[in-house]
Amino acid sequence: MKRKLPILTFLAIIFSLIVTIFPTSSAYADEEDRILDIYGDPITTNKDYILINKYWDVVGVHPKDRIAPVGQNRFGVTYEKYAGWHYAIQYRKASYYGAEELRKDTKGNEYYGTPINFETPDGLNSDGYIKHNTPVTMSMWIGGPNAEAGGVKKYINAKDAGWIYFSDQSKSKLIVQKVNSKEINLATGTTEILRDKFGRPCDWYSADPKNSYYGVTSTFQVQIAEYLGSDHEKKWAISAPKSVAGYELVPLQ
């Protein structure tokens, strides 16, 4: 005589098959929330990427439209030593990088910059995928590609405002903010945009609360230093409010 399955057991088997074959909406949402590299593959922790600002450095185009197509900008973030500190920077010319900073991506295309890694902050758990609002630390090998080659692994150190540098003593926690699937911002904290009663930039003493903005998200930005004698081919990293364009990530070989 054939034995019949109890009805509850039968229903449990059917339900498990449905879940296996048809993923839940939360599973789809989880995948859709992932950040992708320029070729559409998920960004993961502990993998080499070139971080590239998507601002389209071209004349004749309105500033709000200066967002480069995916993969067009070829100059990425690297570092420069100044007064004993290694600062994050992005150049506007290939000659500023040097031959050692010329890299090839997974498709063989050439980009300039120093590889960065996203890592999970100490004390947190992660599935390895970078998504919207994922907390990360960002590391870079300074002076060589690894310890055997004389390099030192350092981490981005960013305050709510001001210059961003690399440190082997502390790690800033950055929050990944999704602009679209292939473009992100990296939140570093909060800051203020201070204006006087005429709408002009000012210090806190002259700030008019009606014209000023408080609790503004500050992000990782690269900007030309606006001081006398500064080299306008250099774009130093600072913590500042969001700009027109975010960043894309180029996977390396």
Instruction: Write the pLDDT tens digit of every residue in 205-245.
Output: 999 999 999 999 999 999 998 788 899 999 999 999 988 89
Q: How many structural domains is the chain composed of? A: 1
CATH of the domain at 29: 2.80.10.50
d(Cα 205, Cα 194) in Å, to the nearest integer? Answer: 10
Instruction: Tell me the residue range of the domain where 34 lies.
Output: 7-251
Q: Which residues pair with 49 in a beta bridge?
A: 116, 251
d(Cα 186, Cα 238) in Å, to the nearest integer? Answer: 11
Residue 84 included in any domain: yes
Residue 42 included in any domain: yes
Residue 242 included in any domain: yes
Residue 1 included in any domain: no
Written as six digits, the tokens of 34 are: 């992932």
Residue 145 included in any domain: yes
d(Cα 99, Cα 65) in Å, to the nearest integer? Answer: 32
pTM: 0.84
d(Cα 231, Cα 209) in Å, to the nearest integer? Answer: 35
d(Cα 116, Cα 138) in Å, to the nearest integer? Answer: 7
d(Cα 42, Cα 46) in Å, to the nearest integer? Answer: 13
Residue 55 included in any domain: yes
Residue 2 included in any domain: no
Q: At 11, which helix (H) or strand (E)?
A: helix 7-21
Entry field: residues in the chain:
253
d(Cα 153, Cα 146) in Å, to the nearest integer? Answer: 8
Task: Count other C-beta atoms under 10 Å from residue 4's C-beta.
Answer: 8
Residue 2 φ then ψ, to 5°: -80, 140
Residue 18 has pLDDT above 80, yes or no: no
Residue 165 included in any domain: yes
Most confident of 2-6, 41-45, 189-193: 41-45
